[in-house]
Structure 1
Amino acid sequence: MHITLETDYAVRIVEALTRCGKRLDARALSEQTRVPQRFALKILRKLVADGIICSYKGAGGGYELARSPGEITLREVIESVEGPYRISRCQEDTYCCDHTTCRFHEIYGEISQQVRQKLDSYTFAAICLEEGARSCGYDCPGCQQHGEGKGGE
């Protein structure tokens, strides 16, 4: 099991917005995260639709977190891109098997629930901002963590 490239990019985008702590436009996010801009825009739309980030149009527009980084979990970002986490398609309502006799249905359900709970335990504040969190390595103009564009360690 692994997350998709799109999900990895979504996590990077939310990380950059968390660490910089300010509104960034799509171009800046793309450059800082090394996510191709067209792909970043697609991901940004999903994150906006799920209430993880907000978008602003016009001069001074861009994207910023919709909530405190302490309220945004790794699971939310992953599921914004990939949909609800399940270890197996056996957990999907549309998958047809006899759940009453399938020995794996319950096992897969328990494992999926444990993974969801673990992903919920990681907030972007804990990942990015708490003492001991590594520098993001991004060259963030006006970044709270690095001052004026002092990215890296």
Structure 2
Amino acid sequence: MLMTKASEYALLSLIVLAKAGHPLDADTLSKELDISKSFLAKILQSLARQGILNSYKGVNGGFELARHSREITVLEVMEAAEGKSPAVFSCSPSQEDCPSNKAMSCGLWPFLNRLQGKVDAFLGTLTLEAILEE
């Protein structure tokens, strides 16, 4: 599956943070987005570890964008939220990923791999700024 809840929540959080223009804590974000605080906190920490968010501790702490929204791509957000590259199908990134071990004889794999490449290229050029402008 390409877009999981983790990726969706990561993107929604980034939209709220970009519009806020100042740090927001996980509790505030979880209430605004109606998302489990513990699940969201894990996602936010992953985004911070990947340099997408800055994380501040303390009373006035929270999270804010580490870079301008035009420098953050949907692909890197999804990779940070998922801990791996997003895949259209489980076997599309490489033949070794085929769950049935039949990729070498699979007539669909070349098509799925090309589709994966096009999706990755699109997500790699789609920025948070473009989403905010929609």
Q: TM-score, normalised by structure 1?
A: 0.74
Whole-Å separation in 1 of the counterparts to 2:25 and 2:59: 10
Unaligned segments of structure 1, at least 5 residues: 134-153
Q: Which residue identity does 1:49 align to in structure 2?
A: R
Query: Percentage identity across aligned positions?
Result: 33
Give the corresponding residue for 1:53: 53
Whole-Å separation in 1 of the counterparts to 2:113 and 2:49: 27
Q: Give the count of matched residue pairs.
A: 129
| Secondary structure in structure 1 of the residue aligned to 2:63 | strand
Q: 1:126 aligns with which of 115, 119, 130?
A: 130
Structure of higher CA gyration radius: 1
Superposed CA RMSD: 1.9
Moved over 6 A (4+): none
Whole-Å separation in 1 of the counterparts to 2:39 and 2:87: 25
Q: How does 1:83-122 map to 2 (within 5 A)?
A: 83-90=84-91, 91-92=93-94, 93-95=96-98, 96-97=101-102, 99=104, 101-122=105-126
Whole-Å separation in 1 of the counterparts to 2:57 and 2:48: 13
Q: TM-score, normalised by structure 2?
A: 0.83
- Answer yes or no: is the 8 Å Cα contact 1:52–1:67 preserved in 2: yes
Post-superposition shift, 1:98?
5.5
Unaligned segments of structure 2, at least 5 residues: none
Whole-Å separation in 1 of the counterparts to 2:85 and 2:23: 28
Cα separation, partners in 2 of 1:3 and 1:94, compared to 1, 3 Å: closer
